[in-house]
Amino acid sequence: MTPDRQTAAVLDRIDAPRMLREVETWAAINTGTANLDGLSRMAALLADAFAALPGEIALVEPAPITAIDSSGTEVDKPHGLHMVLRVRPEASRRILLTGHMDTVFPADHPFQTVRRVDEDTINGPGTADMKGGLNVILHALLAFEDGSGASAVGYDVLVNSDEETGSLASRALIADLAKGKFAALTYEPSALPDGTLAHARGGTGNYSITLRGRSAHAGRNPGDGRNAIVAASDLVLRLKALEAEDITINPARIEGGSANNVVPDLAILRFNIRPRTTAAMDRFDNELDRLLCAIAQDHEVLASRHGGVTRPPKPVDAAAQRLFDLVRDCGARLGQQIGWKATGGVCDGNNIAATGVPVVDTMGVRGGAIHSPDEFMIVPSLKERAALSALVLQELAQGDRL
């Protein structure tokens, strides 16, 4: 297939060797969500790279977030800075592009380097998820700005530092930047290595339930104790009984207790839910309150909850489907066959969709084995996906398909 003149011009403006060099440099910096030093270095590098685009760059402080520690105490949980680029904020039609700089690999993880697997593949931390995606954003926008028609639209770019742990420290920022946007693109890697996009998504929520009982000697006076571990175990069974076709519940860990001869007075249950609909999400929240009251009464313990839904389900409405169709058609002009499928995974696209803005959230590179030391990125997909996004941006600037 011979590309049309406009498509060929976009391809000519994309520097694939430079893209690969930048991804290799960025992936060599550890940016585990808790590695504040690494995230600070990465934010500065990104700010320098995105300064090649028009507009103003800001490094934004994370929102304050707390967590429950192993003693059942609520503690502050620090996060890194978020990078925001605002271009032509006065434009009547504006677009949001988002990505994240954090990875799941902490500073002491052995997976720290990038290596070439073969001519078309590299293996490295965050190469697919999503240092490659960040690079696609940059070079798609550079190609878009070098073409005609860019002045017709404005856009914001958000690169947050906490996506891998639920974007709690950037959730309000995402919602604020999404307000009034015509469309949004998020640069998670493709759902499959062939470039398939994620379509509808379920939601997710993370909870910590603290149960406080009463300690006693396990031999002399066990009846005087109130066993928090038993209460937590009972809660696990009752939670699993709430599972239905539209929601799954995964009890992940129980912490607490002490010596074997002491009735434990503390237990912390941590669990995850995956609602497929907003109705299931709301129903579970109400049922959890009821369950905690019942557990507290039946076991004579104190029960408190922390956390909740971090990303609501993401259905695909008519406007979002038109955006998917636009991406597919732009791919066809490039000789790329773009399809999509529903997935149980979540990302910041869930949060954007909840604001009513149409979003496609797997516009990043092709790759796979993310969140593991086998993570890989398919090198030619850097240029492929940058060209795809540049064409989509041109269509959003010029057309009325949404």
- The maximal CA–CA distance of the chain, rounded, in angstroms, is 86
For residue 33, pLDDT beyond 90? yes
CB atoms within 10 A of CB 357: 22
CA distance 194 to 378: 10
Given a contact cutoff of 8 angstroms between Cβ atoms, the answer to whether 38 and 125 are in contact is no
pLDDT value for 357 = 98
CA distance 292 to 165: 25
pLDDT value for 81 = 98
- Give the pLDDT confidence of 329-366 residue by residue, as tens digits: 999 999 999 999 999 899 999 999 999 999 999 999 99
Percentage above 70 pLDDT, the chain: 100
Q: Give the mean model confidence (pLDDT) for residues 200-212.
A: 98
pLDDT value for 14 = 97
User: What structural domains does the chain harbor?
Assistant: 5-202+314-398 (3.40.630.10), 204-311 (3.30.70.360)
Given a contact cutoff of 8 angstroms between Cβ atoms, the answer to whether 62 and 158 are in contact is no
pLDDT value for 401 = 73
CA distance 190 to 376: 12
- Give the pLDDT confidence of 127-152 residue by residue, as tens digits: 999 999 999 999 999 999 999 889 99
Which band of pLDDT confidence, cut at 50, 70 and 90, is reported for residue 1? low
Whole-angstrom CA distances from 113 to 127, 132, 370, 373, 375 are 10, 15, 15, 10, 11
Among 172, 33, 129, CA closest to 368: 129
pLDDT value for 70 = 96
pTM of the shown model: 0.96
- What dihedral angle (degrees, nearest 10) is formed by the CA atoms of 75, 81, 82, 83? 180
- Give the pLDDT confidence of 237-268 residue by residue, as tens digits: 999 999 999 999 999 999 999 999 999 999 99
- Give the pLDDT confidence of 76-106 residue by residue, as tens digits: 999 999 999 999 999 999 999 999 999 999 9
Which band of pLDDT confidence, cut at 50, 70 and 90, is reported for residue 400? confident
Percentage above 90 pLDDT, the chain: 95
pLDDT value for 344 = 87
For residue 71, pLDDT beyond 70? yes
- Give the pLDDT confidence of 268-327 residue by residue, as tens digits: 999 999 999 999 999 999 999 999 999 999 999 999 999 999 999 999 999 999 999 999
- Give the pLDDT confidence of 40-50 residue by residue, as tens digits: 999 999 999 99
pLDDT value for 179 = 97
If you average pLDDT over every residue of the chain, what do you get?
97
CB atoms within 10 A of CB 64: 11
For residue 13, pLDDT beyond 70? yes
